[in-house]
Amino acid sequence: MKKVWVVAIAIALLTAGCSSNSGDKDNKASSSVEASSTPSQSPEASSSPEASKSPEASAAPGEEEVNIVFPASLNQNGEVEGMTAEVKEAGATNIVTNGDGSVTATISQKNLDKLLEKYHSELMTMIEGVHSEENASSIKDLTYDEDTFQEYDITVDKAAYTSADSMDGLVIFGLAMQSMMYQIYSGVEETDLKVTFNLIDESTGEIFDTTVLPEAAPAQ
């Protein structure tokens, strides 16, 4: 099960809507979010039929814009369209593939905040679901890094979790996807972009498995 969801994460992150705006082709591959001096879209661009569907597709005059850089590691198969779908819908402009394989997009701070709010809300819903009394999975408890969602300690019924019939690895799959995207939109640098899962045996209180993504993905 572990191999299935680790590989699935790598695929899903390439196609699930990581987007970016591109500045310089010499930009280093990082997931930093930084202030941009890129001007707002021209009136001609914002009056197009596609832009008219999204009133906030471009920043209002004087509104701060930022650059989001998606690391080259998420663009190994050249899935630029898949990576940029979500930020395009959120109003990103000037999406470009950099020479190092990273992708950069410009988006208003207001729209970026909305993306962050979306991912934070979805992560909290997933975590609350695990803690719900109605949860009948092998997962018994879950604690996490509340600031960056970079590390999770998950207490499980080890025998049930590792059984061939267990589907609880999908919970980790979902958490990993959402956490990676939250970090990218938060401006976490590529070298710090990761999610660590410590699986703890409920009966002993000891960690029996640790998986770090995305580092672990190629090894699978």
33-55 pLDDT tens trace: 655 544 444 333 333 334 334 43
Of 114, 18, 113, residue with least CA distance to 71: 18
For residue 134 the two structure tokens come to: 């109605």
Q: What one-character-per-residue DSSP string does 175-200 give?
A: HHHHHHHHHHHHT--GGG--EEEEEE
Contact 120, 127 (CB under 8 A): no
Distance CA 33, CA 112 (A): 10
> pTM for this one?
0.70
What is the predicted pLDDT for the residue at 18?
A: 38
What is the predicted pLDDT for the residue at 50?
A: 40
Distance CA 175, CA 9 (A): 10
